[in-house]
Amino acid sequence: MLKLITGRLGPSGFGSASTAEQVTDGIDGSNLTAIVTGGASGIGLETARVLALRNVHVIIAARNMEAANEAKQQILKDNNAARVDVEKLDLSSIRTVKAFADKLKALNLPLNILINNAGIMFCPFQLSEDGIETQFATNHIGHFYLTNLLIDKMKETSKATGIQGRIVNLSSILHQYPYKEGIQFHKISDKSSYQERLAYGQSKLANLLHSNELSRRLQEEGANITVNSVHPGLIMTNLMRHSGLSMRIFRAFTCFMWKNVPQGAATTCYVALHPSLKGVTGKYFVDCNEHEPSKLAQDEALARNLWDVSNNLINAALKS
């Protein structure tokens, strides 16, 4: 807590007050291509902007194409040499996730970095077009499926270039506050047991479990790709649009803990680009430093079960 309040630097040399530009200073990503989901606003836009500033070819994947194109123009206005493309991606729809991946593969672009940034938070109960609770569908299932569809492209790129691929999943400190059992496998889309804050915690726990299980599988294969999770910090962005008065009151009493957007994107950019993290995988980062997640997040059996259930949900949706 003291480090958060004071911005004191951790072992990495960075801390809660560090910005995305500061943690990537001097890094040249001109030989890298990255996808940033939800890159049209908030910390996703700042992540895309800073990666482009470091000469990375950035693909902004977003549901709102008008906002995505505005984000692209904003980046180009400040950096006319930036390499930025935009593509439509609705993570709550399994079929559109597949369409995005198919289009990306058809472009025959390399893929070095996948940043699973997009998310929704504290939403009223709703089902996706695939019949999956919306927070779980958007925050976990969509990213899980997208990653599975693009992992061969990442393996191909790392093998052809010799550059280690990196996958960054945005989780949250709220992964510590899911339902009692962690993941309600038999009630994921059950309206009667739905609690919006616990459902969000469940989806963020799923992000961590996904990272850890994918990391384990890639290590077993000997693939040259790392997978890590990050907590960006508390930031007032569009993600908070469903949080209402209670969150605003909470923020008023905890103002010293909140980050601005450049600080909020720092941990993502650090884990995506910093050379000191070469070979580091299956870890969780807070304020640009490794941090121990909850015990549930370290439960290997839970991670394997989630992997199987996620695949089953996707396969059922594709058959319907």
Catalytic site residues?
A: 194
Answer for the pair 112, 157: CB distance below 8 angstroms, yes or no: yes
Q: To 10 degrees, what angle do helices 142-161 and 94-107 make?
A: 20
C-alpha distance from residue 264 to each of 32, 159, 228, 296 (Å): 22, 32, 17, 25
Instruction: Tell me how far apart the alpha carbons of residues 166 and 228 are, in angstroms, rounded to a whole number.
Output: 8
284-286 and 289-290: which strand pairing? antiparallel
Answer for the pair 49, 73: CB distance below 8 angstroms, yes or no: no
Tell which residue, 257, 250, 252, has the closest CA to residue 235.
Answer: 257
Answer for the pair 210, 141: CB distance below 8 angstroms, yes or no: no
Instruction: Tell me how far apart the alpha carbons of residues 80 and 175 are, in angstroms, rounded to a whole number.
Output: 39
Tell which residue, 184, 197, 198, has the closest CA to residue 132.
Answer: 184
Tell which residue, 106, 125, 121, 54, has the closest CA to residue 84.
Answer: 54
What DSSP element (H or E) covers 170? Answer: strand 165-170
Look up residue 30 and give its DSSP letter.
T
**DSSP secondary structure, 103-153, as one string:** HHHHHT----EEEE-----SPPS-B-TTSSBHHHIIIIIHHHHHHHHHHHH
Instruction: Tell me how far apart the alpha carbons of residues 209 and 215 are, in angstroms, rounded to a whole number.
Output: 10
Instruction: Tell me how far apart the alpha carbons of residues 141 and 309 are, in angstroms, rounded to a whole number.
Output: 10
Rounded to the nearest 5 percent, the helix, strand and coil shares of the chain are: 50, 15, 35
